[in-house]
Amino acid sequence: MGASIMNVGTSRQVSIDVRVSPAALYDAVSDVGRMGEWSPECRRCTWIGGATGPTVGARFKGTNQRGIARWSTKPRVVTADPGREFAFVTGHLGRDMTKWTYRFEPDGERTHVTESFEMLRKMPWYFRVADRLLMGVTNREVDLAANMSETLRRLKVAVETG
């Protein structure tokens, strides 16, 4: 498949069923310091700017690595609805670029967890070049979907056994 151009509105979502409550899953995901435990690219996150937890407007720094590529982001929390939804946006050059959302839906003794991303603006051409040259990724949309599946798989293991 050729290079994907991630335009405004490009989105993907993946889901998994986990044998813990929506509240427990929300607590795990919204504790951004744990994100490095399950994300294939994120190495660590820390609250910044006086933030100490998941509230709308709180910011955190995410440190990421993929192959030889290393980068950081400073996402802003846009939804902090305990047991239901946690979402944040990443930006570039002072403008929101990608919205990441985790939704938690009770289903008997399980919770249906959905992770999604949505492009809020077109990905710059130089990001696509870096994806290919530094990370070996030719289709970032498909790659991100695979990463979300792995993130949710690791999250499931962590919360079901933890």
Q: For 95-122, how does the pLDDT look when each residue is reduced to its tens digit (9 = 90+)? A: 899 999 999 999 999 999 999 999 898 8
Q: Rounded to whole angstroms, how far apart are CA atoms 79 and 86? A: 5
Confidence of residue 128 (pLDDT cuts 50, 70, 90): confident
In this structure, is the dihedral angle defined by the CA atoms of residues 40, 41, 43 and 45, taken in order, positive or negative? negative
Helices vs strands, H then E, count in the chain:
4, 8
Q: Rounded to whole angstroms, how far apart are CA atoms 97 and 85? A: 19
Q: How many CA atoms lie within 13 A of 56 on its CB side?
A: 6
Six-digit token pair at 116?
Answer: 């999604």
Q: Is 116 helix (H, G, I), strand (E, B) or coil?
A: strand
Global confidence as pTM: 0.91
E strands along the chain, which residues?
11-18, 42-48, 59-66, 69-73, 76-81, 85-92, 95-107, 110-119
Domains identified in the chain and CATH numbers:
12-161 (3.30.530.20)
pLDDT value for 3:
47
For residue 75, which amino acid is it? P
pLDDT value for 4:
62
Q: For 68-79, how does the pLDDT look when each residue is reduced to its tens digit (9 = 90+)? A: 888 899 999 999
Q: What angle do CA 20, 160, 61 make, to 5 degrees?
A: 90
